[in-house]
Copies of this chain bind each other. A is one copy, B any other.
Amino acid sequence: MSNPTAAMLVIGDEILSGRTRDGNTHYLAGELTRHGITLAEARVVPDAQPRIVAALNDLRSAHDHVFTSGGIGPTHDDITADAIAAAFGVTIGIRADAAALLQAHYDRSGLPFNEARQRMARIPDGATLIENPVSIAPGFTIGNVHVMAGVPNIFQAMVASVLPTLTGGAPLLSQSLRVNRGEGEIAGPFGALAAEYPDLSMGSYPFQLNGAHGTNLVIRGTDAAQISAAMTRLAALFPAQ
């Protein structure tokens, strides 16, 4: 009945130091919601194998799918593929099909397929490749874990490759009502309405504009007719003022 769940694992010191702001989680959240998969949790861990392995094993046993971003490039701090292999207890090495893709790419570019670049063909045993139309170096899927690049346009292209292969549930739908009242004014009747619709999720998000308080009220669920009915009730509770 309920939708499959997923987790996001962001891997990278640069996120935790504040150098880089992660945008991949927000992107994935929107894509999964449209596809009927519930993003149930997200984590950020540093480039440290024991931390990656522990988080990955937690998440892959708790959720139907895990998506990772970051750490699959050619440099010494790109340790994701080895950490994933360790988490699954499988060996890892340069794989012929991945190496062939990269060799052809660098031949076209007139660049040497050197030792560093060959690191990007290291794939855990038993994985399948995820296409990278942007810069060729593939991601991979092993078990229920989808390992993808951290660079946003490559991450997004890999999500586009993987998502159609996953069975989704009913897409999560939402309707919003913007009211020119603070949360403290609407909370009572809004909470009472939410209690009448246990299958819907209702949330309130306050904002300030020109010194005045307002609130966006959001109704989420998978049944469009039920959301519309609840929204009609909500709009009647808080007419424009």
Contact = CB atoms under 8 A, between A and B. Distances in A.
21 contacts: A14-B205, A15-B42, A16-B40, A16-B41, A17-B39, A17-B172, A17-B174, A19-B205, A22-B25, A22-B26, A41-B44, A42-B43, A42-B44, A43-B43, A74-B184, A75-B183, A106-B184, A114-B188, A116-B184, A116-B188, A116-B191
Interface stretch (A87-95, A138-146, A195-203): A195-203
Contact of A73 (B16, B22, B106, B183): B183
Interface of A: 13-23, 25-33, 38-47, 51, 73-77, 106, 111, 114-117, 119-120, 151, 172, 174, 182-188, 190-191, 194-195, 201-206, 218, 220
B17 A111 contact: no
Contact of A218 (B14, B25, B44): B14
Contacts of A205: 14, 19-20
A35 B172 CA distance: 40
Majority secondary structure of chain A interface residues (helix, strand, loop or mixed): mixed
Contacts of A19: 174, 205, 218
Given A17-B33, A17-B220, A75-B186, 13 more contacts: A13-B203, A16-B38, A16-B41, A17-B172, A21-B26, A42-B43, A76-B202, A77-B201, A77-B203, A111-B185, A114-B185, A116-B183, A151-B206
Contacts of A20: 205
A75 B204 contact: yes
Contacts of A172: 17
